[in-house]
Amino acid sequence: MTTADGRTLAVYEGGDPNGVPILVQNGTPGSGLLYGPHVRDAEEKAIRLLSYDRPGYGASSRHEGRSVADCAADIAAICDALGVDRFCTWGVSGGGPHALATAALLPDRVAAAAALAPVAPFEAEGLDFYEGMGQQNVDDFGTVLAGAEEHLAAVERNREQLLAATPEDLVDVWKTLLGPADVEILDVEVAGFILENTRAGIEPSWAGWFDDEEAMVRPWGFELSAIRVPVLHWQGEQDKMVPFGHGVWLSNHIPGVESHLSPEDGHLTLYGHRVPEVHAWLLERYAA
């Protein structure tokens, strides 16, 4: 579809075309490609499962300098084009803040939202942003703060590594980012989809990844305190990609949130195991 300012957004759809609309916001880096088990769950639960490539990923045009909050206008445009008046949304990892932005900025259209292992605001008061974070992500945020040239060089290096990786390589590629629960779930099938989803987003360009990371260290463009719709939050204690402290902080700062701080989960386990529960929770709020 084409936005009012002439950009292209690539939209994905699965599940039941007549079902309750739920829009997925995938992580960083990634595309809108939908995971087969999630689509099958959507078919079983009568969910119209939607997703899209954030700007700069896949077939979506870049929106240079975008903020996290800018996703709300794009999502509203997608829903207008699809004839969707009211919907739910969930986001994972880097998609989590975008799901929270959608909840805060489209309260008349979002029935409920869920955020799985979302990163917290970079300058959140009372949060040690890096505590418990795997060294690779610590280093990546360091390059963002070092300036555009160093950041771009790091994104290009990381992009080439992921484009060249096989499913069997992924545990080694992410060796500082995986706790025991995530190592256990990362079999060839799961790793294969992660790489497929990521490559669909980053093969055409580095821009979406670069812009996502830039947006994460700047003000998001909305206040968490503005959220008035039901929100489900889930954070794994074994998460090294987005550490547990982020989840604790967000559980104390999202108004009225239902927060699950889970000792047995990591980062990838939320995406791999918890989405059917998330879908069920969203459907209950949509019907309320």
**6 found inside a domain:** no
pLDDT at 70: 98
Residue 194 belongs to what H/E stretch?
Answer: helix 188-202
With 0-12 / 13-18 / 19 or more C-beta atoms within 10 angstroms meaning exposed / middle / buried, residue 125 is exposed
**217 found inside a domain:** yes
29 upstream amide cis, omega within 30 of 0? yes
Burial 62-75 (b: 16+ CB within 10 A, else e): bbeebbbbbbbebb
pLDDT at 240: 98
Q: What is the average pLDDT across 216-232?
A: 98
**3 found inside a domain:** no
Q: Could you read off the pLDDT of 122-158 as tens digits, one per residue? A: 999 999 999 999 999 999 999 999 999 999 999 999 9
**231 found inside a domain:** yes
pLDDT at 255: 97
**4 found inside a domain:** no
Within 10 A of 209 (CB to CB), how many other CB atoms are there?
Answer: 27
**260 found inside a domain:** yes
How far is residue 105's CA from residue 125's CA, in Å, rounded to a whole number? 22
**5 found inside a domain:** no
Q: How confident is the model at residue 217 (pLDDT cuts 50, 70, 90)?
A: very high
What are the distances in angstroms from CA 43 to CA 32, 53, 91, 220?
18, 22, 19, 34
**184 found inside a domain:** yes
Q: How many domains are contained in the chain?
A: 1
68: domain CATH number is: 3.40.50.1820
Give the pair of three-digit tokens for residue 216.
């994460």
Q: Could you read off the pLDDT of 41-97 as tens digits, one per residue? A: 999 999 999 999 999 999 999 999 999 999 999 999 999 999 999 999 999 999 999
Full residue range of the structural domain in which residue 202 is found: 11-287
